[in-house]
Amino acid sequence: MITGKHLIAGEWVAGDTTFASDPSTGPSHDYAVGTAAHVNAAVEAAEDAFWSFGYSSRADRAALLNKIADEIDARGDEITEIGVQESGLPEARLQGERGRTVGQLRLFATHILAGDYLDRRHDEALPDRAPLPRPDMHMMQRPIGPVAVFGASNFPLAFSTAGGDTAAALAAGCPVVVKGHSAHPGTAEIVAQAIDAAIKALDMHPGIFSLVQGGTREAAQTLVKHPLIKAVGFTGSLFGGRALFDLCAQRPEPIPFFGELGSVNPMFLLPNALGARGEDLGKGWSGSLTMGAGQFCTNPGVAVVMEGPDADAFIAAASAALEATPSQLMLTDGIAKAYRAGRDRVKGSAGVQEVLTTTCDMRNATPYLYQTTGAAWMANEELGEEVFGPLGLVVTVKDFDEMVAVAKSFVGQLTCTIHMDDADADNAKTLLPIIERKAGRILVNGFPTGVEVSDTMVHGGPYPASTNFGATSVGTLAIRRFLRPVCYQNVPANVLPADLG
């Protein structure tokens, strides 16, 4: 049952004021507005919990992660029902996202039990070394302390309350305070109920996890500025993420802000691939571009092609496929409004031509397709800004040299894609070192929507795709964001942490 309250260290706490949810279907509910007092209570409980949880065994933390997964699955129907109501996402999408959420919790449990993430190293003492002896030194990764996590609008489960940031932080031994997203507060509460049940079933410190609902900016600002918070995980807009990033940097003790802020995820279609299967690539691009109403951070919004008949065929196929795509419900009214504003910005840019124009209003999204030249693209930085929704832009270049110049003009991205045939290998080799510097994930002959949760996945990239391109928010490497190396010099074996003993 929905209570509309915050979960603070095992207690459900009301607030003096409330906000109403805005579901796409079904009833609206009232939720307590998060305040500075709620945040302070949650963070202080998290700090108290760290003294036990931060030094708990990997087996105990793995048991917690698996138990949270069990409790989420036990509430699967309830989560799906309210998730569909709040987000407008189809039932199958919510069920799949729940599978990913519990899957990454279990993946981190397995990962920490293996122990490789600790990166344990040992330099044995060399007492007789000249001119100076060497001390005995051990090193391994240790948790940093309480972590703040912000729920994402476009993934009510996998990037929110018990999503990848929370799973990675708990696996590392860091208590978590989640700032809930106001687009899906009911979903957040039910998932928080699952986490609370898991913590109580294992008789662990209740401060390990808290959920403070949204409603105003006060809770968010208080959370990132709280002196006991040691890192922030965020998935959202460039504007909102940059504001929080700046707050983290301005603290008396600056802390890392691991923000995933989105990108346009360019595709480069090389000439032989374009000539051999341009129409199929156009249709495939349409499917990727419109998946989930284009509300994926890996949505491939820009295609770079060499001008000519093959490019024309690709554009025509993409346009036809997009035109046949029905309108789709967007996650919130605000996202729909921002999508229309992005459309108007692209449409009004110099050198941009309409290929497919449609009509969308209220919370609905229909696809748009535009075309520009390489020269116009490089003259207008605004064309490289993300439009969150099913809008595509084709950049036609005169030759491969101009394609290289366009590639160099991109800012940081989550993904870059090359479509190629064997005969395009030399051109692909030229592009590869350029796009390596631009993105965290490089694809060949695929579409980037859909992120595998695995050991090798990198979901991040140079700014503005993310605020720390040395990190990933998806995959087991994500745990490293919430760890720091500690060297133990001449510490007796019976004093060393258990993982080094």
Active-site amino acid positions:
260, 297
d(CA 290, CA 367): 7
Are 288 and 415 contacting, i.e. CB atoms less than 8 angstroms apart? no
Which residue is associated with the tokens 């948790």?
A: 143
Distance of CA 165 to the CA centre of its chain: 8
Q: What CA–CA distance (Å, rounded) separates 313 from 330? A: 30
Cis peptide before 326 (omega within 30 of 0): no
CA distances (Å), origin 318, targets 253, 302, 324: 50, 12, 10
Distance CA 215, CA 286 (A): 36
Please tell me the distance from the alpha carbon of residue 410 to that of residue 226, in angstroms, as a whole number: 35
What angle, 0 to 180 degrees and rounded to 10, lies between the N-to-C axes of helices 309-323 and 271-290?
20
**Start-to-end Cα distance in the chain:** 46
**Distance between CA atoms of 34 and 220, rounded to whole angstroms?**
9
Least Cα distance to 175 among 151, 149, 200 occurs for: 149
